[in-house]
């Protein structure tokens, strides 16, 4: 039997499960993996089991095609092929948005598509323009920058992609007329007299939608597209959280992820006698200090959780402050250690200086972010993560 020693604190490790295919019994595969972990002493009460959203959606066969997107855009906005449509604040991503753009533009092959981008970065930190260029041009042009205003080509500093050109080419390939404008005021898009607008940002979508609708615009968000439960493939998140699967197919975020998490928890409790929590996680809420890119392109870090994690916050005592304070007061090490342990065990949390620097954070966000960092965005073949000692 392998068991984590008592002197370890929070630990997280990935569990390999092999290839997960559409239509497979994923809950059974997760349970089998957890049973092996339990037999080796690696699963116990209080652990959190994290399953990446990607494999949950794949097992659900939750894929949509370009025609699916075209059909739903027509239905949601009540437009025809020669309509003019706006797309507000999409993120700069081939994986996350290129096929969505192709689907939206494909809904109006005889019409026009206006894409309004934010600057100097998109909502999650992908750079469109250098900050100094962004500030200078916006000041010169009342906050509106057009591609022809740029004196040189600007590419994403990490991927080397020119997103202005990429998005223009995608629109042109559908037959639609394309226009791209750069402006941080969401109301600017109303000046194009559009038949409908798709609010395409992730985290501020509702706020932008409300602003536009208050001015009489016909709007939907990405969450509204491909969200019909009567369809063969759908998600309550619509196109939010979707990923490129093939040149013509998108994998949606998993549907009913809370139910999946609860099912795993129930199976483990009934068959192994172990009380765990479970999460279906997506992008972690991590901001890269080198690039400034905020990794959370999903609507939230956790798509689904067991009830014991929902709306729960992690907070605690400022351990290093307590130790420094007591040592300065002349306490010996044994007394310091005993006092700290007693304070932690008491679970008494106040808003005083002893908790300063320990801002309460949602447990589901922290656990999902840790799981995402452990599994790796490049996919290490460990879609199942076990986190111990956190709760």
**Cα–Cα–Cα angle for 245, 247, 252, nearest 5°?**
35
77, two tokens = 């906005």
Q: What is the 3-class SS of 169-188, one letter each residue? A: HHHHHHCCEEEEEEECCHHH
Peptide bond into 120 cis (omega under 30): yes
The region, left, alpha or beta by phi > 0 then psi within -120 to 50, assigned to residue 265 is alpha
Q: Contact at 8 Å (CB) between 253 and 235?
A: yes
| Residue ranges in the chain whose pLDDT is less than 50 | 348-357, 378
DSSP 8-class letter at 298: S
Read off φ and ψ for residue 223, nearest 5 degrees: -65, -20
Q: Tell me: the pLDDT tens digits for 50-89?
A: 999 999 999 999 999 999 999 999 999 999 999 999 999 9
Give the pLDDT confidence score for residue 352 in this predicted structure. 44
Residues contacting residue 372 through CB under 8 Å, at least 6 positions apart: 52, 281, 282, 283, 284, 286, 295, 301
The whole-model pTM stands at 0.88
pLDDT of residue 79: 95
Domains of the chain and any CATH numbers: 21-60+253-312+362-388 (3.30.1330.100), 63-251 (3.40.50), 319-355 (no CATH)
Do β-strands 302-305 and 277-281 pair in parallel, antiparallel, or remain unpaired?
antiparallel
Kindly report, residue by residue over 342-386, the tens digit of the pLDDT: 666 665 444 444 444 456 788 999 999 999 999 875 456 899 999
């Amino acid at each position: 039997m392998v068991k984590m020693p008592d002197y370890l604190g929070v630990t997280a490790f990935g569990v390999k499960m092999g290839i997960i295919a559409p239509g497979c019994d994923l809950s059974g595969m997760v349970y089998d993996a957890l049973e092996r972990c339990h037999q080796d002493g690696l699963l116990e009460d209080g652990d959190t089991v994290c399953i990446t959203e990607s494999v949950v959606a794949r097992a659900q066969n939750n894929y949509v095609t370009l025609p699916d997107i075209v059909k739903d855009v027509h239905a949601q906005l009540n437009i025809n092929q020669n309509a003019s449509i706006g797309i507000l604040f999409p993120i700069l991503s081939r994986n996350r948005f290129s096929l969505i753009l192709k689907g939206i533009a494909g809904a109006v092959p005889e019409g026009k598509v206006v894409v309004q981008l934010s600057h100097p970065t998109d909502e999650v930190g992908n750079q469109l323009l250098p900050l100094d260029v962004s500030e200078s041009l916006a000041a010169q042009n009342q906050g509106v920058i057009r591609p022809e205003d740029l004196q040189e080509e600007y590419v994403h500093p990490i991927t080397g992609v020119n997103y202005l050109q990429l998005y223009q080419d995608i629109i042109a390939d559908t037959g639609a007329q394309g226009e791209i404008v750069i402006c941080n005021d969401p109301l600017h898009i109303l000046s194009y007299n559009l038949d409908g607008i798709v609010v395409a940002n992730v985290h501020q979508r509702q706020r932008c939608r409300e602003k536009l609708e208050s001015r009489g615009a016909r709007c939907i968000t990405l969450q509204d597209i491909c969200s019909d439960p009567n369809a063969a493939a759908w998600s309550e998140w619509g196109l939010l959280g979707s990923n490129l699967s093939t040149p013509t197919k998108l994998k949606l975020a998993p549907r009913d992820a809370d139910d999946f998490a609860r099912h795993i928890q129930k199976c483990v409790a009934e068959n192994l006698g172990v009380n765990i929590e479970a999460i279906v996680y997506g992008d972690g809420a991590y901001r890269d200090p080198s690039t400034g890119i905020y990794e959370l392109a999903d609507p939230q870090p956790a798509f689904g959780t067991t009830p014991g994690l929902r709306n729960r916050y992690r907070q605690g005592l400022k351990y290093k402050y307590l130790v420094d304070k007591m040592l300065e007061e002349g306490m010996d090490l044994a007394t310091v250690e005993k006092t700290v342990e007693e304070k932690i065990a008491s679970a008494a949390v106040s808003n005083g200086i002893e908790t300063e620097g320990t801002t309460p954070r949602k447990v589901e966000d922290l656990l999902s972010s840790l799981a995402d960092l452990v599994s790796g965005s490049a996919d290490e073949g460990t879609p199942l993560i076990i986190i111990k000692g956190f709760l």
